[in-house]
Structure 1
């Protein structure tokens, strides 16, 4: 709307510039809308909905300050313009208790409201807190590698690289660790990004309410292959998930220590594949860092663990 107003009142010589601005804004709007289909504002489960609600509520609260402030800036500029003889001219004025009260009270109240909103949300959406449900959660163990993800299903005795398959309507309990440097596990439509840390296990509870194909990634820079460290997420109906799990037990090799040592070597853009059998203690050995590290990984393991490029 304001672009149209500027165009109607601007000099014709500036029309090309304004038309370019309008085209650029239209392009950004299209890009933003296309990105929302896999973003936090298109939630697919209870945690994602909670995150989106906090985001929108915080935005509304902040706009309640920003918009009146912008409007008052324009009003003051108009009110106290040099041609307005009715405006008060007080060159000796230095202090106003009423202005000070407004300037300090509104930000303080805003911080209190935002703090309360986030405090309540952080308790309700605590990643360690199980989700209320009639079904017991599906257990999935997650290991971040350079630069790929390994998902182990201990109840189904299978594992998948760079693909996460979950049932619809059933909570999923993730145990997350890293075999190398810091990474962060994040499926935007399901919510709650959380770190994968070497020598530690993070807990996360998520749930998908509808069948869909989603996108997940690491959002922590971890070296040259970081940009390709993403994975697909499929949420399937209960029967379809059971059929997929049964099929996975008949495909692929076994994930034992030797296979894990091969998988541990740095690589990127790895196509999804599965293991039909998994060493039952593999995740705990990775989390406790009791597995031997291949020679190619010794230098990376002795370097900084907070994310950084590997040689």
Structure 2
């Protein structure tokens, strides 16, 4: 028991640089208090002392602001930072070395009995305010961004952000590896369509940029397949003539851009022109007469 308590306190030191000493963590960290009380209530729950376990769980919520159902299963070195507003449902399964921040919900989407809450594998980190809803698995080492709403399975090592949650980084090979995309060809396609990911890296992923990149990769794969089909047709039929697709040039869009610029400039001139009713404006002299 004391060995497990020391392990929990050491996990706080590893993940919270504000922790200073053993006594401070033991007496002033509500996440640790909620975890210790949950272990007691979970033991009572398994002994079929349901009312007593729920009463202890309610006391824990009143004391810490963290609601953990006594039926939830939580692994070792579990850490809740700050903790206020955290809710963990009855059938939730939490692995080892998992970290939750304030406002996290591990909830369900069904009123049916049985497994209805998520399973968090080892090493998962869930940001503040995130909602993970449903009986699916969040893979080991995955990261859930703040305020994300996740309703489907997350692969190991992935990073999920947004509402609904979208994967912006994953440990599996990216789409270009699956499609065998030539980097030089991809760059040419990006320049052809004027797409620029504005320096987005793996450390600062952008879902829209990745979606655009995936579309360009798909277009590259379709282009390669069409070229292969045309070459096969030429071999089968000597009279087959291949038509070239028209190139996209910047000049093709010049008229649209000029109209847009002229419209903007005219609006700007109207907004900056002096009003006829302006008292400070000087009267305009009449044109000279030819008589």
Q: TM-score range by the shorter chain?
A: under 0.3
Alignment TM-score, normalising by the size of structure 2: 0.24
Rg comparison, structure with higher value: 2
Name the structure where strand makes up a greater proportion of residues: 1
Higher relative contact order (CA 8 A, sep 6+): 1
TM-score scaled by length of structure 1:
0.22
